[in-house]
A and B are shown apart, each in its own frame.
Chain A
Amino acid sequence: MSGIAVLGRIRLSYLVVAVFVAMAVLAPIIAPHDPADSDLFRRLQPPFWMAGGEAGFPLGCDALGRDILSRIIFGTRISILVGVVVVSAATVIGVLAGLAAGYLRGWVDVVVSWMTDVLLGFPYLIFAIGLMAMMGPGLLNMVFALAYKEWVVPCRVVRGETLAARETEYVEAARALGASRRFIMLREVLPNILAPVLAVATIRVAQVIILEASLSFLGLGVQPPTASWGSMIADGRGYILDAWWVSTFPGVAILLLVLAINLAGQVRRRDDHG
């Protein structure tokens, strides 16, 4: 792939992400209708280009006569909020645990590594579903259920990088100068291993957004009437025979956002190894 094409794709993916972030921030201003406003006369109204559709409800309405576009715009808030909050919290915890395990070694490493091995023993969605089955549905519970497992990913990366960094000359020099362990970990090692951590975090936001949508689809995430993309798809599942648009458009939103984030994270690697 030529350099110009790579740059073009990066810019396009950043642009798509920026549009979604703007949608989330400006939702109350740009959404044409209240996402919870129900008008049963507009029940399952098709998109504007189909017979029976109207420009004021461009993507049509759901089974309760709510505007799909407005619900998608407000749903952006949930997806981005969960993605960013879960990955940020997990990154802070994972970085601290990984630094401690990789630098201090000994029992700290044994305990942290055991915890990561155990949590990696669960398929992600099953862990979250199992936990949410007990805690009950809801936004906050979902954030906790996802973050409990998510921290393992940055922790593994940081531990590996720290193990390599602790043998380098700059760390040895700091040790020789009498720097404390905390100083070395946070001021010497951390700044030097931050790049791969941030790269992984970007990709993980995309994965967490899909997980959030999956949990909401199953009815375990955000509860009605709050709009979330996963629950909107679930709402439309019963109407695929005569109202395909109810499920289709929220899915397009998920796909676009996740694809853009993945592309932004991956396209830089102009590797021949795919």
Chain B
Amino acid sequence: MSPAALLTRLLHLIPVLLGVTVVVFLMMAATPGDPAEVMLAGQQATPAQVAALRHDMGLDRPPLERFGLFVGHAVRGQFGQSLFHRRPVAQVIAERLPATIELSLAALVFALVVAIPLGVLAAVKRGGWLDRAATFGTLLGVSLPGFWFGILLLIGFAVQWRLLPVSGEIDYDAQPPGVTGFLLVDSVLAGRLDSLLNTLAHLALPAITLGLPMAAILMRVTRSSMLDVLRQDYITFAEAKGLSRGRVLLVHALKNALLPTVTVAALETGALLGGNMVVETVFGWPGLGRLVVESIFVRNYPLVQAAVLLYAVTFVLLNFCADLLYTILNPRVRM
């Protein structure tokens, strides 16, 4: 891709990001009544304390000035104080982010590991029982409410068979020394196998729950693109040359068939962001999603606003990267 084309695409991002910021800013306007009063409701706050909070949140300024301040602060990662935690919002969010990133990546790995082999097998054995099962599995995967599926997994694996832990990220006594905040990385850095296994055991059920809808979609995409590729002349040619079936499938077909899978995986990683609020709530996962849900009920508006903006900006950038990846990987689009 030429630098000019990349620059054009980057410039297209600006109005979208600006719009996203406007929407998040306007969300505060949906509050019934004065946000400062609502936040302090039930806490016997004096009018002076309400006025002080209004001032801190900038609610006593004209809307346009408030928006300017909001954007300025957002760019610098300043979202005010979290009254509930008595610390800056950005700090509270930063503490919870590693857990959410770890869970999302684990869900992505699960989805890819399940979807690609099944998608290939379904395409190769087209019309067979495996293909039908995979097609139905796809439909089931997108029809399952994630939070309910998570509870079913909990009932089976944690309660009935006691194979995996019920909730949390790690057992207290297995906690490795905190370096990066990512428990898997910290466990490896500390050389603690017990911590690593403990984290993986805690990660398994939430990652499967979060990754299942994505696996269903990726399996469908892999199957479909594999079927397309298998019809191509170069596959017939490779088979005519006498190459083994396995080599034709893995080296010649799969390499090309994975292009849409990779692109859709990048797009769907953004969609994982929405799911992790619910999944983190089900499994008591101490990530950003659960923090947002908890914050809603204590009317911690600045934190909710900051987190929604962070999610949205990440989502926009992930979609941009997926688009870019598709262009880079696909010579026909690149031309």
Contacts and interface: CB of A to CB of B under 8 A. Distances in A.
Interface of A: 114-115, 117-119, 121-127, 129-136, 206, 210, 213-214, 217-220, 230, 233, 236-237, 240-241, 244, 247-248, 250-251, 254-255, 258-259, 262-263, 266, 272-274
A45 B23 CA distance: 47
Given A126-B277, A233-B151, A266 B139 contact: yes
Which of B27, B143, B148, B304 has the most chain A CB atoms closer than 10 A to its own CB? B148
25 contacts: A123-B270, A123-B315, A125-B277, A126-B274, A126-B315, A129-B308, A130-B27, A130-B304, A132-B296, A134-B28, A134-B29, A134-B31, A135-B30, A244-B155, A248-B151, A250-B148, A251-B149, A254-B145, A255-B145, A255-B148, A258-B145, A262-B142, A272-B126, A273-B227, A274-B138
A123 B29 CA distance: 20
B296 A118 contact: no
B139 A262 contact: yes
Nearest to B224: A273
Nearest to A234: B147
Contact of B274 (A124, A217, A240): A124
Contact of A218 (B154, B270, B277, B305): B277
A272 B16 CA distance: 36
B297 interface: yes
Which of A122, A206, A230, A240 has the most chain B CB atoms closer than 10 A to its own CB? A122
A274 B19 contact: no
Contact of B278 (A122, A206, A217): A217
Given A121-B316, A218-B296, A259-B143, 6 more contacts: A214-B278, A217-B147, A233-B151, A274-B122, A274-B135, A274-B227
B282 interface: yes
B130 interface: no
Given A123-B312, A129-B292, A263 B159 contact: no
A234 B151 CA distance: 10
A259 B23 contact: no
Contact of B293 (A136, A218, A258): A218
Nearest to B275: A125
A219 B140 CA distance: 25
The 6 closest A-B CB pairs, nearest first, are A118-B19, A251-B148, A123-B274, A130-B308, A125-B274, A133-B296
A134 B30 contact: yes
B116 interface: no
Contacts of B19: 114-115, 117-118, 121
Interface in B133-170: 135, 138-140, 142-149, 151-152, 154-155, 159
A247 B148 contact: yes
A121 B143 contact: no
B273 interface: yes
B187 interface: no
A44 B286 CA distance: 29
Nearest to B139: A262
A126 B15 CA distance: 20
Contact of A134 (B135, B144, B301): B301
A34 to B, nearest CB: 25
B90 interface: no
Contacts of B146: 214
Which of B29, B149, B152, B223 has the most chain A CB atoms closer than 10 A to its own CB? B152
B32 interface: yes
A124 B272 CA distance: 11
B22 to A, nearest CB: 8
B211 to A, nearest CB: 16
B50 interface: no
Given A129-B277, A254-B148, A259 B312 contact: no
Given A130-B308, A214-B147, A255-B144, A121 B16 contact: yes
A122 B312 contact: yes
B273 A123 contact: yes
